[in-house]
Amino acid sequence: MKNERAASGSRVVILGASNKEDRYSWKAFNFLLEGGYVPVPVHPRIEEVGGIPVFSSLNDPKILEDGPIDTVTLYVNPSVVEESVSAIIALQPRRVIMNPGTESDAARSSLTNSGIVVVDACTLVMLRTKQF
């Protein structure tokens, strides 16, 4: 299990990405870009965010074509998180960030047991305070 921080240039999956400017996931997408990270948006019903193609599923094999995933940040309800656990584990990220409202004890347990660090925090705050 790795504990170091994400490096600039790291790939970050945004599960629940949005192209709506009032959504926190849209703000996270832009903050990640500003910080030099590579956002990897995932949403089943939108095609692009900020000109970047969106993956419709975590199970898309092309999601790993450009390199490994460092972090998965969650912007979906806990039931979707729980349905996504196997796919998240298959991506082998270093960590998963459970943003407020996405927390799931069952998912946390499965992810932790798979060696993935789970952080209960706000991605936006982490990025703005240089704790990402």
Give the DSSP letter string of 38-56. Answer: EEEEE-SS--EETTEEPBS
Q: Is residue 59 part of a domain?
A: yes
Q: Is residue 4 part of a domain?
A: no
Q: Is residue 2 part of a domain?
A: no
Q: Which has more pLDDT, 117 or 7? A: 117
Q: What is the pTM of this model?
A: 0.94
What Cα–Cα distance (Å) separates residue 109 from each residue in 90, 112, 126?
15, 5, 23
User: Can you give the pLDDT at residue 92?
Assistant: 97
Mean pLDDT, rounded, of the chain: 94
Q: Is residue 123 part of a domain?
A: yes
As a whole-number percent, the residues of the chain with pLDDT over 70 amount to: 97
Q: Is residue 5 part of a domain?
A: no
Cross-sheet strand order for the sheet of 38-42: 38-42, 11-15, 71-74, 95-98, 117-120
User: Can you give the pLDDT at residue 5?
Assistant: 73
> Which domain covers residue 84, as residue numbers?
11-128
CATH number at residue 56: 3.40.50.720
Q: For residue range 81-119, list pLDDT tens digits in order.
A: 999 999 999 999 999 999 999 999 999 999 999 999 999
Q: In the chain, how many domains are there?
A: 1
Q: For residue range 10-25, list pLDDT tens digits in order.
A: 999 999 999 999 999 9
Under 8 Å between Cβ of 43 and 52: no
Q: Which has more pLDDT, 8 or 76? A: 76
